[in-house]
Structures are given as C-alpha cells and as structure tokens.
Copies of this chain bind each other. A is one copy, B any other.
Amino acid sequence: MRDTLYEQVGRIGKALASPKRLELIELLCQSEKTVDALAETARCSVKLASAHLKVLRAARLVEARRNGKYVYYRLADAQVADLWVSLRALAEERLLELQTALREFAAPGQALEGADRRTLLRRAARGEIVVIDVRPTEEYAAGHLPCARSMPLAELRARLRELPKNKPVVAYCRGPFCLMSGEAVALLKKRGYRATQLVDGVAEWRAQGLPVET
C-alpha cells in the first residue's frame, strides 16, 4: 500500500547507489555521449557500460536516441543533473573520507559562493580575466560558461600563445571530481601564466540558476 510510494523513490535511489553509474551520470551532465565514449572515459567494457545504462534508463534518469551506427545517451531531465550536484555536494559536506580523498587527488581549486560566481562572470564579461573550458570540444558545444573559450586540455600546450600573460586565466572542466582543470593550471603556471582553477563544472553552474551558453 503506502510502501509502494517509497519503493518507487527507492528505484531512483538504487540507480544512484553504484559508483560507476554516478560516473556515467556526471559524464552525461556534460553532453550526450555514445556507449563507446562513455565506456572509454569511465574505463570499463562497453558491455558493462551498457548494463549500467540500462539500469539508469529503467529508473528514467537517462534516455537514448539512435543516430546511424551510434546510440547516444543523454540525461532525461535537467533535474537529474541538479540531483547529482546536490548529492555530490551533500557527500562532500558530510563525508570526511571524501574531503580527504579530494585533498589528495584533486588539486585545490576555488570553490565559489553564489555571489562570487556572479562576480567572476562580470569580470570575465569586462575582459579582466580569461575563462577557459578545458573539456573536449563536444562538451563545450553542448553548454559552457558565458564568456568561456574552448581550449581542450589535449590542445592546450600547442595553443598556449592564444592566452595572455598579463591577465588571470581561470580554467574549469567537468566539476570537482575531474582532474583536467588541475592539470591545465599546473601547465599554465609552469609556463608563467597567472592561472587558477575553478572547481565548478557546467552542472554546478546551472544548478545555481546561472546562465549557460550553447
């Protein structure tokens, strides 16, 4: 009777109970992706990725469309990205183990409050700072911070001269669990740039109600 209601919500909970699935959700927060691409980025077999995606689809968190030989998966709703952001934020706040793990793996970047985020946008709009998006170009194309320039980590070394040395450069990537912006900042600093890392990703940005460009 009443248990049915909680069981249904539990379906969503169960879908969120596997680390691999959470990783897939985070990747899908960036842009739609093929099974192949997801499996490669999440470092698992296509078969396993396919199985996890089936679970996520059964919980109605993701949807699929076919285009030619490829099946593209995407989040079923922007609310799913928001839920992922809330869940991760809660875990970061409550779980000491996560905090220490983050300190160890991820380079410490700037965690901004709502007001700071708006300040960052204003300064970027005025040209006082340069914001670069170091994710792959497809992810940039699917949505990026206003005023951000696409500069994928893989191309960064070759395109360094496009960046000014006299202005602060702010790099961001997929979010707090992603290492790309940290690597970008390390490279930039070594070459004499004034670089800082923004730990937000587009999903965090959007969850704050801030604008995202496509």
Assess the B4–A9 pair: CB atoms within 8 A: no
A59 to chain B: which residues have CB within 8 Å? 94-95
Tell yes or no: A77 within 8 A of B by CB. yes
Which residues of chain A from 20 to 67 have a CB within 8 Å of any chain B CB?
20, 22-23, 26, 59-61
What residues make up the interface of A, taking CB atoms closer than 8 Å to B?
1-14, 16-20, 22-23, 26, 59-61, 76-77, 79-80, 82-83, 86-91, 93-95, 97-98, 101-102, 105, 177, 179
Assess the B88–A86 pair: CB atoms within 8 A: no
9 contacts between A and B (CB under 8 A): A6-B26, A10-B17, A12-B16, A12-B91, A12-B95, A13-B17, A60-B94, A79-B90, A82-B86
The main secondary structure of chain A at its interface with chain B is helix
CA gap between A9 and B21 in the complex, in Å: 11
CA gap between A50 and B122 in the complex, in Å: 51
Q: Which residue of B lies closest to A94 (CB)?
A: B60
Q: What is the distance, in angstroms, from A15's C-beta to the closest C-beta of chain B? A: 8
CA gap between A163 and B12 in the complex, in Å: 41
CA gap between A174 and B99 in the complex, in Å: 33
Assess the B16–A13 pair: CB atoms within 8 A: yes
Assess the A12–B90 pair: CB atoms within 8 A: yes
Assess the A8–B97 pair: CB atoms within 8 A: yes
Assess the A16–B19 pair: CB atoms within 8 A: no
Q: Which residue, of A18, A93, A98, has the highest number of chain B Cβ atoms within 10 A?
A: A98
